[in-house]
Chains A and B, each alone.
Chain A
Amino acid sequence: MPGSAFPPPSPDSPPETPRSGITRRGFLKGAGITAASTALLEGVQTLRADAESEATPGVTEFGPGADSVRLHVNGAEHVLDIEPRTTLADALRLHLGLTGSKIVCDRGVCSGCTVWLDKIPVNSCMTLAIDAIGHHITTIEGLSSESEPHPVQAAFVRHDAMQCGYCTPGMVMSCAALLERNPHPTEHDIRHAVSGNLCRCGTYPKVFAATLDAAGSRRA
């Protein structure tokens, strides 16, 4: 089971008798309920299917301590020792030093922590790192290279679509994801795409203008 952190449960052992309060299967069920997007739900289901299709006898539980997991971030594989409760945001920020995504509300309402799972934007503060296993994670750091910024990043700079800049990585990830799925958005589409992104400095008008401009320059 490549990319998976934890050995799957033995088919012989009772699935819901945890040693320390939680089983992989029960945990995944819970995680599935809180998952933030359809894509993530699909990912979890895939993971669960993997878990149930491969048998490694003798080990049925995991956590609460740290285990070794493999995450695919910005085109590279990383092995991290994390507890199962570790959010993707913490895994990225604390374990991998990818501090571009910000934790602001810590409950999935401000989108400051937006990253992509397989190009779908998710709130990494509401996503468990283990739920991201097997997915391609893209953070703001992986959106572009220093020498060649993403068109949305370049447009944000041109239009001064930032003030303190703390919401900017999340805004950029949301707007860039919009252009991935809709290369010709209207301002209404952009407002919709960033309706979950909170900016306290009040930079929205320039975010709209920058994203429209980025869409135009991509077309050109």
Chain B
Amino acid sequence: MSNRPTEDALLPQAAMPANSTVKMPVGVPGYTLHEETRQAPASEPPVWPINKDLQYVGHSAHRYDGPDKASGRARYTSDVQLPGMLYAKFVNAALPHAKVISVDTSAAEKYPGVRGVYVVEHVLGPAELRNPALDRGRYPVVRFAGQPIAAIAATTPAAAQEAATLVRIQYEKLPFVVDLDKARESNAPPVFPGPADEEGSAGGGGGPSDVHQTGNVHGPSVHRVRDTEQGFKEADVIVEGHYITQVQTHSALETHGVVADWKPGMLTVWASTQGTASVREELAGYFDLPMSQVRVITEFMGGGFGAKFGAGNPGVVAAALSKKTGAPVRLMLDRQEEHLSVGNRPSSDQTLRIGAKKDGTLTAIHLVSYGTAGCGTGAGCAGPATNLYQYASLHTEENDVFINAGPASAMRAPGHPQGAFALEQTIDDLAVKLNVEPIDLRDKIDNHPVRRVERQIVRESALWKSRSPVPGADQGPVKRGVGLAQSVWYRFVRTNCAAEVRVHRDGSLEVLSAVQDIGSGIKTVLAQILAEQFGVPPSQIAVKVGDTNYPVGPDSGGSVTTLSLTPAVRDAAWQAAQKFLADIAPALGVSPSDLVLVDGEVRSGSGKFQPISFRRAAAKMTASQITAQARRVPDYDPSKYLTYGGVDVAEVEVDTELGRVHVRRVLSVHDCGRPMNPEQTISQINGGIIQGISFTLFEDRLLDPKYGLMVNPDLDLYKIAGAREIPQIDVRLVEAYIGQSSTDASGIGEAAGVVSIGAAIGNAVYNATGVRVRRTPMTPAVVLAALRQGGTQA
């Protein structure tokens, strides 16, 4: 993800009807709430007041599909079973770098139950050579162990798996490198024979394509703001740190996969995806099909975290096998493939210098980063350094280093947990050097009005007040510490999304959008919006999503879904309600403007008739169905540069004898515009915190340098935080109105804790021990090494 929201400016904007001036609530209730004027399209619905004055939106309606999920009735892609369906299995490269000389599938084809074999022609995911002619050969070059080479479709999963072992692949081994430092050396085996680039997905990731490449080093991508040389000259103090973070895999519980059913005139695909639209586009493009002949369905999906956009190799291969065999084909990756081939969070090796005046003013930030996105790009991590604080000058150099490992993909707040881990610990170092409280220093260098409120909430919290100002104050071997860090994310608006609302004569209501609910709860939010507009409880709304037969939805990446889609849904609901009232007004003997929808009733504002139930009023419709569609209109004031974020506080216990870091409590103070459903928002923040703890303390994709293979491609040796490692998490949601759309919603997925908690833990460990741990995961070995060295470079 680029650091600034620019891409939407390149899209054709929705037609702007005549504007009208509206007054909107802006700021944080109880702190900074005030009214601002905006120019909104005249067709927009009336401005909503703040949450406390709404009935359903902003309140915690139960998750729309909660009963389906809790009962096991929810049908995910991996659960789809169609008559005559075949099961497909990939045949994957066993070597990290090789030319494929031949692929012999004859034995596999003869295996009982096998119905189709497909040899992969183009591998999706890795960076693409700028000059594709450099990769001559019949088959794609293997650039990581686990790269798909072929696939088998058979009548049972077991038959497909056995037949897959019968495919004979002849390789010409190539030298490989799986270590970032070694890959940077001038004589390192080249992962690509020339410059190569990877585009980002809807979730971000990817890297710049206009940069220099030397050997395996793709970069630097340089960003300058004024003159850092001058900035450091003007500094009274300079702090510097060298930080290292590891590769993390997404490890969604439902693996990547599809069920593809290729029939004449229609390819139907159930996909575990964060973007039904992205899957349809890629399949239509790959197979040269009209968009109207590709349908993608995602009713439920078991986690993505940024890795699930487009059809990818599973989608293309399953569709090809379905076409070939004439039968529906299910292709779900196994756990090992999920670790190896469909994305990860790149590593980082950052050298960060910050110069400041005695009063804390930042004069210069200088960041040089290297990181590996495997055989992809996207290891940039300068976002936090660039966007969290005010500074006089900035210089960042981001480098991607290719290694023979699976390509990275966007992962929840791409680049930001890594960048914040370095930045926010360095800012705390600066506070130590300036002898000021870290929270006071941030007040000096961060003028974001919402962050200021959030710091005030932290300052007043019992947890922050319990922090010892003296590092390492505890006497025993287990030392307690408290630290904080801030997060930042950006407002990306997708205007390319729409929704339809239907009112039926029986009084039932439905909303339709192709948007997929990836677990963040957009289904519930859409029901709440209709409920608010029609004055009926959310439980009476039918939500139809996750199907490209409905109006196009946004791809769910970069925290765009709620903020992009909900205004379109509200606009459609409002328009449908206006049409509905206009339709029934004559039967009620009043003008439409006299009608009010509230508490499940239709009422006459002037009291011309006794209130009647919504259902009885709907029976007066002159048609069986009233519909309205609306597209997302641009933000009311797109010139405003808006970020969201929060302040996270961690309390840790560090066992200085065993090296174990345990996070006991977390206070998480976050904003996301108007919270549409606080309970679901808190769920996402809990999740961000827990994923961030897992990244900071446990997870690590380990590659064996001798064989170039991942040694822990599972969920036992690849350690993820579990029930015993979960702290008490206290989330404080800050309503922060921004006056930008008919719902004024924002997103929370990226900003939620995952960005900042690693640095908060690092700062808490410093507070506990007086030693800075500059490397993740903070395993006991890493912590003990840092303690032995007394906090010098880890």
Write the residues of chain A forming the contact surface with B, with a CB cutoff of 8 angstroms.
Answer: 83, 85, 90, 93-94, 97-107, 109-110, 112, 139-141, 143-144, 146, 149, 153-154, 156-158, 160, 162-169, 172, 190-192, 194-208
Q: Tell me, rounded to whole Å, the shortest Cβ–Cβ distance linking B91 to chain A.
A: 18
Interface residues of B in 673-724 (CB under 8 A from A): 679-680, 682-684, 686-691, 714-716, 720-724
Q: Which 3 A-B pairs have the closest CB atoms?
A: A100-B72, A202-B690, A166-B302
Q: Tell me, rounded to whole Å, the shortest Cβ–Cβ distance linking B344 to chain A.
A: 14
A97, B81: Cβ atoms closer than 8 Å: yes
Contact for A203 among B71, B73, B158, B686, CB less than 8 A: B686
Which residues of A have CB within 8 Å of B687? 163, 201-203
Q: B70 on the interface (CB 8 Å rule)? A: yes
Q: Could you tell me the distance between the alpha carbons of A156 and B518 in the complex, rounded to whole angstroms?
A: 18
Q: B317 on the interface (CB 8 Å rule)? A: no
A195, B716: Cβ atoms closer than 8 Å: no
Which residues of B have CB within 8 Å of A165? 65, 68-70, 74, 300, 302, 519
B335, A160: Cβ atoms closer than 8 Å: no
Q: B67 on the interface (CB 8 Å rule)? A: yes
Chain B contact residues: helix, strand, loop or mixed = loop
Most buried by B among A103, A112, A162, A202: A202
A104, B72: Cβ atoms closer than 8 Å: no
Q: B254 on the interface (CB 8 Å rule)? A: yes
Q: Could you tell me the distance between the alpha carbons of A124 and B683 in the complex, rounded to whole angstroms?
A: 28
Q: Could you tell me the distance between the alpha carbons of A10 and B716 in the complex, rounded to whole angstroms?
A: 42
Which residues of B have CB within 8 Å of A103? 78
Known A83-B158, A109-B714, A195-B724; contact A200-B686, beta-carbon cutoff 8 A: no
Q: Could you tell me the distance between the alpha carbons of A160 and B682 in the complex, rounded to whole angstroms?
A: 10
Which residues of B have CB within 8 Å of A162? 63, 66, 69-70, 519
Residue-by-residue, is B301-343 near A (CB-CB < 8 Å gives 1, otherwise 0)? 1110100000000000000000000000000001100000000
Q: B157 on the interface (CB 8 Å rule)? A: yes
A–B pairs, 16, beta carbons within 8 Å: A90-B157, A103-B78, A104-B715, A105-B716, A107-B715, A109-B715, A110-B253, A140-B72, A141-B72, A153-B71, A164-B253, A165-B302, A195-B724, A204-B726, A205-B686, A206-B683
Chain B residues with a Cβ closer than 8 Å to the other chain, count:
57
Known A97-B81, A102-B254, A205-B726; contact A163-B70, beta-carbon cutoff 8 A: no
Which residues of B have CB within 8 Å of A200? 251-253, 303, 305, 691, 720
A100, B71: Cβ atoms closer than 8 Å: yes
Q: Could you tell me the distance between the alpha carbons of A200 and B726 in the complex, rounded to whole angstroms?
A: 12
Which residues of B have CB within 8 Å of A97? 81
* Chain B residue at smallest Cβ distance from A174: B723
Q: Tell me, rounded to whole Å, the shortest Cβ–Cβ distance linking A158 to chain B.
A: 7
Contact for A140 among B71, B689, B729, CB less than 8 A: B71
Q: Could you tell me the distance between the alpha carbons of A166 and B715 in the complex, rounded to whole angstroms?
A: 15
Q: Could you tell me the distance between the alpha carbons of A85 and B159 in the complex, rounded to whole angstroms?
A: 12
Contact for A146 among B71, B690, B691, B714, CB less than 8 A: B71
Which residues of B have CB within 8 Å of A143? 71
Q: B38 on the interface (CB 8 Å rule)? A: no
Which residues of A have CB within 8 Å of B720? 198, 200
Q: Could you tell me the distance between the alpha carbons of A197 and B721 in the complex, rounded to whole angstroms?
A: 11
* Chain B residue at smallest Cβ distance from A99: B79
B76, A166: Cβ atoms closer than 8 Å: yes
* Chain B residue at smallest Cβ distance from A159: B679
* Chain B residue at smallest Cβ distance from A109: B716
B72, A191: Cβ atoms closer than 8 Å: no
A104, B74: Cβ atoms closer than 8 Å: no
Q: Could you tell me the distance between the alpha carbons of A208 and B651 in the complex, rounded to whole angstroms?
A: 20
Given contacts A102-B78, A164-B252, A202-B688, 17 further A-B contacts (CB under 8 A): A99-B72, A99-B78, A99-B81, A102-B76, A102-B253, A103-B78, A112-B253, A139-B72, A149-B70, A157-B63, A164-B519, A168-B69, A172-B70, A197-B722, A201-B519, A201-B683, A208-B726
Q: Could you tell me the distance between the alpha carbons of A146 and B69 in the complex, rounded to whole angstroms?
A: 12
Which residues of B have CB within 8 Å of A163? 303, 519-521, 683-684, 687
Which residues of B have CB within 8 Å of A195? 722-724
Q: Could you tell me the distance between the alpha carbons of A100 and B74 in the complex, rounded to whole angstroms?
A: 7
Most buried by A among B253, B301, B686: B253
Q: B182 on the interface (CB 8 Å rule)? A: no
Contact for A164 among B303, B335, B680, B682, CB less than 8 A: B303
Which residues of B have CB within 8 Å of A201? 303, 519, 683, 687
Which residues of B have CB within 8 Å of A112? 253
Q: Could you tell me the distance between the alpha carbons of A103 and B254 in the complex, rounded to whole angstroms?
A: 8
Which residues of A have CB within 8 Å of B679? 160
Q: Could you tell me the distance between the alpha carbons of A190 and B252 in the complex, rounded to whole angstroms?
A: 23
Q: Tell me, rounded to whole Å, the shortest Cβ–Cβ distance linking A207 to chain B.
A: 8
A160, B684: Cβ atoms closer than 8 Å: no
Most buried by B among A109, A164, A172, A195: A164
Q: Tell me, rounded to whole Å, the shortest Cβ–Cβ distance linking B701 to chain A.
A: 15
Number of A-B contacts (CB under 8 A): 173
* Chain B residue at smallest Cβ distance from A90: B157
Q: Could you tell me the distance between the alpha carbons of A168 and B76 in the complex, rounded to whole angstroms?
A: 13
Q: Tell me, rounded to whole Å, the shortest Cβ–Cβ distance linking A111 to chain B.
A: 10
Known A100-B71, A105-B714; contact A157-B684, beta-carbon cutoff 8 A: no
Q: Could you tell me the distance between the alpha carbons of A172 and B68 in the complex, rounded to whole angstroms?
A: 13
B688, A149: Cβ atoms closer than 8 Å: no
Most buried by A among B301, B715, B716, B729: B715
Q: Could you tell me the distance between the alpha carbons of A200 and B688 in the complex, rounded to whole angstroms?
A: 10
Q: Could you tell me the distance between the alpha carbons of A128 and B596 in the complex, rounded to whole angstroms?
A: 61
Q: B62 on the interface (CB 8 Å rule)? A: yes
Known A162-B69, A165-B65, A201-B519; contact A93-B305, beta-carbon cutoff 8 A: no
Q: B608 on the interface (CB 8 Å rule)? A: no
Known A202-B688, A202-B689, A206-B683; contact A156-B723, beta-carbon cutoff 8 A: no
Most buried by B among A110, A112, A196: A110
A110, B157: Cβ atoms closer than 8 Å: no
A194, B157: Cβ atoms closer than 8 Å: no
Which residues of B have CB within 8 Å of A190? 723
Contact for A110 among B68, B305, B684, B715, CB less than 8 A: B715
Contact for B62 among A100, A160, A194, CB less than 8 A: A160
Contact for B70 among A153, A204, A208, CB less than 8 A: A153
Q: Could you tell me the distance between the alpha carbons of A143 and B71 in the complex, rounded to whole angstroms?
A: 8
Contact for A198 among B70, B158, B722, B724, CB less than 8 A: B722
B72, A166: Cβ atoms closer than 8 Å: no
Q: B110 on the interface (CB 8 Å rule)? A: no
Residue-by-residue, is B653-691 near A (CB-CB < 8 Å gives 1, otherwise 0)? 000000000000000000000000001101110111111
Q: Could you tell me the distance between the alpha carbons of A199 and B518 in the complex, rounded to whole angstroms?
A: 14
Which residues of B have CB within 8 Å of A98? 72
Most buried by B among A99, A169, A192: A99
* Chain B residue at smallest Cβ distance from A153: B70
Q: B130 on the interface (CB 8 Å rule)? A: no
Q: Could you tell me the distance between the alpha carbons of A192 and B683 in the complex, rounded to whole angstroms?
A: 21
Q: B34 on the interface (CB 8 Å rule)? A: no
Which residues of B have CB within 8 Å of A153? 67, 70-71
Q: Could you tell me the distance between the alpha carbons of A123 and B508 in the complex, rounded to whole angstroms?
A: 42
Q: B75 on the interface (CB 8 Å rule)? A: yes
* Chain B residue at smallest Cβ distance from A156: B70
Most buried by B among A107, A192, A196, A198: A198
Interface residues of B in 710-745 (CB under 8 A from A): 714-716, 720-724, 726, 728-729
Q: Tell me, rounded to whole Å, the shortest Cβ–Cβ distance linking B712 to chain A.
A: 12
Known A194-B723, A201-B303; contact A166-B71, beta-carbon cutoff 8 A: no
Q: Could you tell me the distance between the alpha carbons of A196 and B722 in the complex, rounded to whole angstroms?
A: 8
Q: Could you tell me the distance between the alpha carbons of A55 and B174 in the complex, rounded to whole angstroms?
A: 60
Q: Could you tell me the distance between the alpha carbons of A101 and B300 in the complex, rounded to whole angstroms?
A: 14
Which residues of B have CB within 8 Å of A192? 723-724
Which residues of A have CB within 8 Å of B724? 191-192, 195
